[in-house]
Chain A
Amino acid sequence: MSEETQVKKKRKIVLDERLLAYKGVWVFIEHERGQVHPVSWELLGEGRKLADMLGVELAGVVLAAPGEEAKRFCEEAYQYGADLCYLMQSEVLADYRNDPFTQGLTELVNAYQPEILLLGATTQGRDLAGSVATTLQTGLTADCTGLTIDPDNRSLLSTRPTFGGSLLCTIVTLNYRPQMATVRPRVMAMPEKVPGRVGRIVEHPLAMAEDDIVTKVLEFIADDSRDKPQLPFADIIVAGGRGLGKPENFQLVRDLAEALGAEVGASRPVVQAGWVELDRQVGQSGKTVRPKLYIAAGISGAIQHRVGMEGADCIIAINNDPNAPIFDFAHYGIVGDAMTILPALTEAFRQKLATLKQAG
C-alpha cells in the first residue's frame, strides 16, 4: 500500500551463527474464557503469507489448562492455516497471568527457535509481548499495519504509524531473534477457514507450579457487551470529525447512523474534545474497523485515522476541503458542507431502504 518518499541507506543485517538456527513463523493463539480472540486467526492468515515467502512452517502456540478445549484451539488453528501447534498445558495456565505465560512462551521460543513471533495487540498480547521480548532480549514492534519479508536477507519488515500517526515507518530487527511484532485486531483480513485441514501437535511441559506464582486471579467480571459499541465488527459505520464544526452538529452523524442501523464512529480530535465517547474512536489510538461501508463526514484522513479504517470495502468521504487527504483513499468523495449533505444522505438512504424492502 505504500510508496517510500524518504529512504535511509539500507542497513546490512548479518546474523550470528547461533541465530541462523531460528526458523519458522509462530502466532500466539490468545484465548479468554474458552474463546480464541479473532485477532489470532487474522494473524495466522498473515503468518501463512510470511511463512510461504520464507519457505518455512507456520505454527500456532497454545498455552492453556489441560483438556479438550486446548486441543480444539489447535484443530481450529490448522483450519486457519497453521501447519503445527506448540501446545503447553498446565493448570497454572487456566487464566491469563503474566508470569506463567511469559515463562511458558519464553521456554517454547528457546526450545524450538522461531524466526518470527506474532501476537495480537490486545491487553493480553501487549502485556505478554513486552514481557517476553524483554526476557529474550530481542526486538518487538508494536501495532504493525503491514508485515512483509525483505527478499534480500529474510528479515521481517514491520510497518507502523509513527509520530502520533502522522507518518508511517518500517522497522527491522537487527542481529536478534526471534523478530517479534504485535498487530491490532481487524488490521489484517480474516482468512478463509479450510474445514478438514489438519496439522500436528508438539507438546511441551511448563516447569512451573502454582506455588511459584505470586499473582492470583480472584475473579473475572465479564463485560456486559450489550451496551458497548461493537465498532470493530460493525458492517456499516458513520463517522464524524472536526470538520463538523461543533458538538451539536454531530447529531447529523447519529441520524444517518440510525437510519442505516449503523454504528457511530469518530476521529481522534472530536473524541479528545469530548464530543463523543472514547469507545467510538476509530484510528491508531482507537479501534480498527473493517466495515463494508464507511461514511466519513468532516474527517480529513490523517494517517492516524486512515490506518484504522482503510480496510473498509467502500469508503464515502464528505469534506469541504477538496485537497483533504481522505479523498486519496476513499472510493467516493463529495466536496461540500457536511451540514447539508448528511441530511440529504440520510433521506436518500431511508428511501433506498424502503425501496429495497418493497422489492423484498
Chain B
Amino acid sequence: MHSVVCIKQVPDSAQIRVHPVTNTIMRQGVPAIINPYDLFALEEALRLKDRFGGKVTVITMGPPQAEVALRKALSFGADDAILVTDKSFAGADTLATSYALAATIRQIAKESPVDMVFTGKQTIDGDTAQVGPGIAKRMDLQLLTYVSRIVSVDQDKREIVVERRAEGGVQVLKTSLPCLITMLEGSNQMRFGTMPDMFRAARYEMKFWDKTAAGIEDVTKIGLKGSPTVVNKVFTPSPRSEKAEMIAVEGGSPADVAVALLAKMAARFPLVEKELAKRA
C-alpha cells in the first residue's frame, strides 16, 4: 500500500496579528506549523502502512522553508518526503495548485504506483477545501471527501469502504483504489514519533523538485498564469454605522447595569422582546 499525503505549511493562525495602523498582516515571529487538518490525513496513511505494509510519501508545494514541515511529517513515521518548490508557482490559486500537485503525484507513481492520496479536509489559512477535489479530478481518482472512518480495505479486490460526513448523516461508500481521501478532523489521533524516526527525519536527505522534476509540462497552468482567481483587495471590515451603545451606570453595581441594559433593549428591539416572551 503506497499512500501519498499532501500537506501544507501554514502560519499558526492563533498567533496572527494585524497591524493596528496599517492593517497589514504581521508575519514576523509567527511560527509555521503543519496544517492541523493534514495530521489526520497523515495518521490515517500511517495506519494503513501499519496494517498492510508499503510506504507513506509526504509532499508539499511551498517555499524552501516548508522543508521543516516535511521533516516533522517524517518524524511521525512517513518514509519519503518531496518538497515541490519553484519560483514559477508563486501566486497559485487552488486550480493551479492542484495542477502542480497532480503532476507531482504522477511522477511519484512512475517509480512506485500510488494506491491512495490523502489530504486534510482544508487548510487553516486558505480554508477552501478545493485542492483535494482538484487533485482527484485531474488524476481521475475516485474522490472521498470528509471521511470520518476507513471501515475496511480489501487489497486483493482493491476496494475500500469508508464513512463520509454528509449533511444530516453519514454516507457509507464503497469504491475502488486508487482513490483520494480528504480526512475529517477528530477522526484519529496523531501518534508520537519514535526516537529512530526522529533521528531519521533529521538526517533525511530532502528531495527538492522544481517544476521540471515534478513533470510539469504546461507552464501556463501553474502560478499566477494558471490561476483564474485573483485577490483584488485586502481590507478590514468597517464598524457598523453606529458603534455599540455603551451601558454604564455611574456608581452602579453589575445588577444595575444589567437592568439598564434590559430596559434599553426592550425599547429598541421588539423582536428580542417577543422572543423572550415566548420563553417566559
Binding site for B on A (CB under 8 A): 1-8, 10-11, 30, 32-33, 35, 37, 95-99, 102, 122-124, 126-127, 129-131, 133-135, 137-143, 157, 161-176, 214-223, 225, 235-236, 260-261, 268-269, 272, 278, 284-285, 292-293, 303-304, 306, 313-317, 326-336, 340-341, 343-345, 347-349, 352-357
Binding site for A on B (CB under 8 A): 11, 13-14, 16-18, 23-25, 93-95, 98, 124-134, 136-138, 142-146, 161, 163-176, 185-186, 227-240, 243-248, 253-255, 257-259, 261-262, 264-265, 268-269, 271-272, 275-277, 279-280
Query: Which residues of B have CB within 8 Å of A161?
Result: 127
CA gap between A98 and B165 in the complex, in Å: 13
The answer to whether B161 touches A344, judged by C-beta atoms less than 8 angstroms apart, is no
Please pick, from A4, A124, A292, the residue contacting B167 in the complex, using a CB distance under 8 A: A124
**CB-CB under 8 A for A162 and B234, given A137-B228, A336-B254, A347-B255:** yes
- Interface of A, helix, strand, loop or mixed by DSSP: mixed
Query: Which residues of B have CB within 8 Å of A123?
Result: 145-146, 164-167
B147 to chain A, nearest CB (A): 11
CA gap between A349 and B265 in the complex, in Å: 12
The answer to whether A2 touches B272, judged by C-beta atoms less than 8 angstroms apart, is no
CA gap between A58 and B215 in the complex, in Å: 42
The answer to whether A6 touches B23, judged by C-beta atoms less than 8 angstroms apart, is yes
CA gap between A126 and B121 in the complex, in Å: 10
The answer to whether A317 touches B244, judged by C-beta atoms less than 8 angstroms apart, is yes
The answer to whether A348 touches B233, judged by C-beta atoms less than 8 angstroms apart, is no
Please pick, from A37, A102, A133, A221, the residue contacting B95 in the complex, using a CB distance under 8 A: A133
Query: Which residues of B have CB within 8 Å of A261?
Result: 279
B102 to chain A, nearest CB (A): 9
Query: Which residues of B have CB within 8 Å of A4?
Result: 233, 235
**CB-CB under 8 A for A353 and B276, given A163-B25, A220-B171:** yes
Please pick, from B134, B137, B231, B254, the residue contacting A170 in the complex, using a CB distance under 8 A: B231
Query: Which residues of A have CB within 8 Å of B138?
Result: 134
The answer to whether B235 touches A5, judged by C-beta atoms less than 8 angstroms apart, is yes
The answer to whether B173 touches A269, judged by C-beta atoms less than 8 angstroms apart, is no
A147 to chain B, nearest CB (A): 13
The answer to whether A174 touches B228, judged by C-beta atoms less than 8 angstroms apart, is yes
Please pick, from B132, B227, B265, the residue contacting A332 in the complex, using a CB distance under 8 A: B265
The answer to whether B143 touches A332, judged by C-beta atoms less than 8 angstroms apart, is no
**CB-CB under 8 A for A95 and B171, given A127-B145, A172-B230, A345-B258:** yes
CA gap between A220 and B243 in the complex, in Å: 48
CA gap between A285 and B16 in the complex, in Å: 15
* Seed contacts A130-B131, A164-B13; 12 additional CB < 8 Å A-B pairs: A99-B143, A123-B145, A134-B133, A134-B134, A168-B235, A303-B237, A317-B244, A328-B244, A332-B265, A333-B247, A348-B261, A353-B279
Most B C-beta atoms less than 10 A away, residue of A164, A293, A330, A353: A164
The answer to whether A167 touches B130, judged by C-beta atoms less than 8 angstroms apart, is no
B230 to chain A, nearest CB (A): 6
In the complex, residue of chain B having the shortest beta-carbon distance to the beta carbon of A164 = B13
Please pick, from B146, B166, B233, the residue contacting A7 in the complex, using a CB distance under 8 A: B233
Query: Which residues of A have CB within 8 Å of B175?
Result: 214-216
Query: Which residues of B have CB within 8 Å of A218?
Result: 161, 172-174
**CB-CB under 8 A for A331 and B174, given A102-B137, A303-B237:** no
The answer to whether A341 touches B236, judged by C-beta atoms less than 8 angstroms apart, is no
The answer to whether B269 touches A163, judged by C-beta atoms less than 8 angstroms apart, is no
The answer to whether B230 touches A11, judged by C-beta atoms less than 8 angstroms apart, is yes
The answer to whether A142 touches B172, judged by C-beta atoms less than 8 angstroms apart, is no
CA gap between A96 and B146 in the complex, in Å: 14
20 A–B contact pairs at CB < 8 A?
Answer: A7-B233, A11-B232, A32-B169, A102-B137, A126-B129, A126-B145, A127-B145, A157-B232, A166-B16, A167-B235, A214-B175, A218-B174, A222-B169, A223-B168, A223-B169, A331-B244, A331-B245, A332-B264, A332-B265, A336-B254
Query: Which residues of A have CB within 8 Å of B262?
Result: 348-349, 352
In the complex, residue of chain A having the shortest beta-carbon distance to the beta carbon of B253 = A344
Query: Which residues of A have CB within 8 Å of B14?
Result: 268-269, 272
The answer to whether B247 touches A332, judged by C-beta atoms less than 8 angstroms apart, is yes
Most B C-beta atoms less than 10 A away, residue of A96, A163, A236, A357: A163
The answer to whether B228 touches A332, judged by C-beta atoms less than 8 angstroms apart, is no
Most B C-beta atoms less than 10 A away, residue of A124, A166, A347: A166
Query: Which residues of B have CB within 8 Å of A135?
Result: 137
CA gap between A7 and B233 in the complex, in Å: 5
Query: Which residues of B have CB within 8 Å of A137?
Result: 95, 228
**CB-CB under 8 A for A98 and B143, given A292-B272, A344-B255:** yes
The answer to whether B275 touches A235, judged by C-beta atoms less than 8 angstroms apart, is yes
In the complex, residue of chain B having the shortest beta-carbon distance to the beta carbon of A120 = B167
Query: Which residues of B have CB within 8 Å of A344?
Result: 253-255, 257-258
Please pick, from B94, B124, B234, B275, the residue contacting A140 in the complex, using a CB distance under 8 A: B94
Please pick, from A127, A172, A214, the residue contacting B133 in the complex, using a CB distance under 8 A: A127
**CB-CB under 8 A for A356 and B277, given A165-B13, A215-B175:** yes
The answer to whether A327 touches B174, judged by C-beta atoms less than 8 angstroms apart, is no
Query: Which residues of A have CB within 8 Å of B259?
Result: 348
B21 to chain A, nearest CB (A): 10
In the complex, residue of chain B having the shortest beta-carbon distance to the beta carbon of A97 = B173
In the complex, residue of chain A having the shortest beta-carbon distance to the beta carbon of B221 = A137
In the complex, residue of chain A having the shortest beta-carbon distance to the beta carbon of B133 = A130
